[in-house]
Amino acid sequence: MKMSGELTAATAVIYFSAYILAVVAGHCFVRGILRRYSLPEEGGLEGAGALIGILERLFTLTLVLVGQYMALGLILTAKSIARFEDLKNRKFAEYYLIGTLSSMLVAIFIGIFTLWVVKIV
């Protein structure tokens, strides 16, 4: 007999698949959107933006899966504080917002879809 909230093999696979989808498909989706826009390279660590995006999607997905939608603002706040000076450049600010919002949107949709799938399994 399955108890409410019990983690079965099927639900574990669904959750694991959601995280893989958020990392891989999310990266491709965001990169595809940002490819339309060019941003001059200005210092920074090579590949750091992609890694930050992956971590952002993992945090976003986790917060959606545990029902903490209000905490999503913390991700935007942390990124904005870290990039405060850079955001004064309008071109960078627009690029940053497109990347951040598209990344979070993908993770939110994956999270909502995952919760729906878990309910019907």
Q: What is the pLDDT of residues 40-98, one digit of tens each?
A: 666 677 888 889 999 999 999 999 999 999 999 998 898 888 888 878 888 888 888 99
Report if residue 16 sits inside a domain: yes
Considering only CA atoms, which of 70, 69, 71, 78 is closest in space to residue 96? 78
Domain total for the chain?
Answer: 1
Report if residue 4 sits inside a domain: no
Report if residue 20 sits inside a domain: yes
Report if residue 22 sits inside a domain: yes
CB atoms within 10 A of CB 39: 14
Report if residue 31 sits inside a domain: yes
Say which residues have a Cβ less than 8 Å from residue 87's Cβ, sequence separation at least 6. Answer: 80, 93, 96
The H-or-E segment that residue 87 falls in is none
pLDDT level of residue 26 (50, 70, 90 thresholds):
very high
Residue 25: domain span:
9-120
Report if residue 37 sits inside a domain: yes
Q: What is the reported pLDDT for 24?
A: 97
**What is the mean pLDDT of the segment spanning 15-38?**
95
Report if residue 1 sits inside a domain: no
Report if residue 77 sits inside a domain: yes
